[in-house]
């Protein structure tokens, strides 16, 4: 299974290897730890989840890596940051990297800014009137 970044509601920039991700529909923003950033890069390059798992190694074994990667992808899907997508583009073989649990830092402190004001009244022409 492959994924893509859920643009346009999701916008992101990579600065010096760090990812800053905004969800314009929800008013939530995110950052990623080191392994999370690598998986993010692999999502953008259309690697399958199995290829992602195979690209990491851990003293705690393959199952640990697999569970960590899948849990992270599930979290990204639940946040609607990524969606499933098929892509047949050529993908280079990945070099194995050390694995620790990928982490998505979620910031909710601004989501109230996106709350839609309720429409209480409208004028005769149908324009909402300020509360």
Partner 1 sequence: MKWIRQDGPLRPEAFFEILYAKFQEVAPNPSPYFIGINNKKIKLLFANDLFLKHFTPALEHLRMDDCETELTICLWDSHSTGSTMPAPPWTHDDYLPRGGIRGWENERFSISFQLGSSILSFYDKERNIALFWTSDLRTIPYWERGAPLLAILQWWGEQQGGSIIHAGAVGTKEGGVLLVGKGGSGKSTTALSSLNSSLFYAADDYCFVSKEVWSLYTSAKVDWKTLKKLPHLNPPPETNEEKALLFLYPTWKERLVAHFPLRAIFIPRIAQETKLIPCSAAEALIALAPSTMFQLPRASKRAFETMANLTRSIPAYYLNLGPNIPEVSETIAEFVNDQCHYSGV
The correct pick among 1, 13, 59, 89 for binding partner 1 (CB under 8 A) is: 13
Q: How far is the CB of 81 from partner 1 (least distance, A)?
A: 15
Q: Does 59 bind partner 1 (CB under 8 A)?
A: no
Quick one: which segment of 14-22, 51-59, 66-74, 96-104 binds partner 1 (CB under 8 A)? 14-22
User: In angstroms, rounded to a whole number, what is the distance separating the alpha carbons of residues 92 and 68?
Assistant: 23
Residue 1 CB burial class (10 angstroms; 0-12, 13-18, ≥19)? exposed
Identify residues 18-57 at the interface with partner 1 (CB under 8 A).
18-20, 22, 24-25, 27, 29, 31
Please give the distance of CA 130 from its chain centroid, rounded to a whole number. Answer: 36
Q: Does 6 bind partner 1 (CB under 8 A)?
A: no
Q: How far is the CB of 28 from partner 1 (least distance, A)?
A: 9
Where do contacts with partner 1 occur on this chain (CB under 8 A)? Answer: 8, 11, 13, 15-16, 18-20, 22, 24-25, 27, 29, 31, 107, 109-111, 113-119, 122-131
């Amino acid at each position: 299974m492959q994924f893509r970044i859920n643009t346009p509601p999701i916008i992101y920039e990579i600065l010096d290897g760090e990812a800053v991700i905004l969800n314009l529909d929800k008013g939530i923003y995110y950052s990623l730890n080191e392994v999370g950033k690598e998986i993010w890069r692999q999502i953008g390059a259309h690697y399958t989840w199995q290829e992602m798992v195979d690209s990491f190694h851990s003293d705690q074994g393959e199952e640990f890596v697999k569970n960590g990667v899948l849990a992270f992808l599930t979290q990204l899907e639940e946040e609607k940051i990524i969606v499933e997508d098929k892509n047949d583009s050529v993908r280079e073989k990945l070099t194995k990297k050390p694995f620790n649990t990928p982490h998505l830092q979620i910031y909710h402190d601004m989501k109230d800014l996106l709350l839609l004001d309720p429409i209480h009244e409208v004028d005769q022409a149908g324009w909402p009137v300020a509360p």
